[in-house]
Amino acid sequence: MTWTPDGWPRTQTGLPATEVPAPATLPPAGRDTPAEDGADGFDAPVLGPHWSTLRRPATPDWLSLTARPSHLRLHGGRSPQSLVGPSLVARRATAPRLSFEATVEYRPLTFQHLAGVTAYYNTRNWHYLHLTADDDGRPVLRVASCDRGVLSVDEAGQVPLGDLTRLRLGLETDGAELRFHHDAGAGRRPIGPVLDATVLSDEHAEEIEDGRIRSLGFTGAFVGLWAWDLTGQGRYADFDEAEYRTLP
C-alpha cells in the first residue's frame, strides 16, 4: 500500500492482495491481561472508548447514560435483518477464552420485545441470551442463535421469570465452545445448550456462492448488550455493571 501526494491509499494493482508477507518480527508469546479487562458501571456521561455501536452513532434518540444514573439505557432497535437502526453496544472479543456479564433490567410486554447479552459477529452470525415474552405475554429468559442467516430459538430450555425484571446475564467462551448463564439472586445457573463459538469467526462469516462472494469476514467478534423492539416503539432496557475478562 502506498499513499498518493493528496492522501489517498493505493495498491500496486488496484486490487486488494489475497496474501501478504508476514511481519519481520512477531510479538513475544504470551502477554499480560489486556488493559480493557474490567467492569463498567456506566457512571460517565459518555461511553468509554472500548465500546462500539453498530452502524449508528451513540445519540440520545436511542442511547442514554443520564436517563437513569449509573445505567446504560438502550431503546429497542430493529431486528438483525435490518441494516439500519440496531441498538447494539458491544466491545471486541480479544481472546479465545473470555467471560462477559451484565445486569439487565427489563419488562417485555410481547414476544417482539427482547433485551440481553450477545456474542456477535454480524447480522447473520450471533448468539443471544435475552429476556422476552412468550406467546401469552409471560416474561421468559431464553437463548437464540443465528448461523449464516439460519435462526434457531431454544424454546424448550427457556426459563419463566414471573415478576422478576432484574437479572445478571453472562457468557463464557472456551475456544470453539460458548455457554450462557444467568443469576436471579440465587447463584449462577447455566441456560441453553453448549453453542458453537466458531460461527463468530472471520472464516465462518465468509460466504461464497457459485464462485461469487456473498459476504466477507473481516470485522472480528464482539460481546455486548442488545435490545430489540420489533413493534418500532423503542421500549427500553437498562444495563448495569458490564464486566469483561479474559480467562487463563
In this prediction the pTM is 0.86
Which cell is 153 given? 430459538
Residue 33, pLDDT score: 44
CB neighbour burial string for 99-113, b if at least 16 within 10 angstroms, e if fewer: bbbbbbbbbbeeebb
Closest by Cα among 98, 47, 38, 115 to 221: 98
Q: What is the pLDDT of residues 121-161, one digit of tens each?
A: 999 999 999 999 999 999 999 999 999 999 999 999 999 99
Q: Which pLDDT tens digit goes with each residue over 34-44?
A: 457 899 999 99
pLDDT band at 11 (very low <50, low <70, confident <90, very high): confident
Residue 27 has pLDDT above 70, yes or no: no
CA 51, CA 100: separation in Å to the nearest integer? 13
Domain extent listing, the chain: 51-246
The CATH architecture one would assign to domain 51-246 is Sandwich (2.60)
Secondary structure of 138-173 in the HEC alphabet? Answer: CEEEEEEEEECCEEEECCCCCEECCCCCEEEEEEEE
Pairing relation of β-strands 113-122 and 97-105?
unpaired
pLDDT at 12: 81
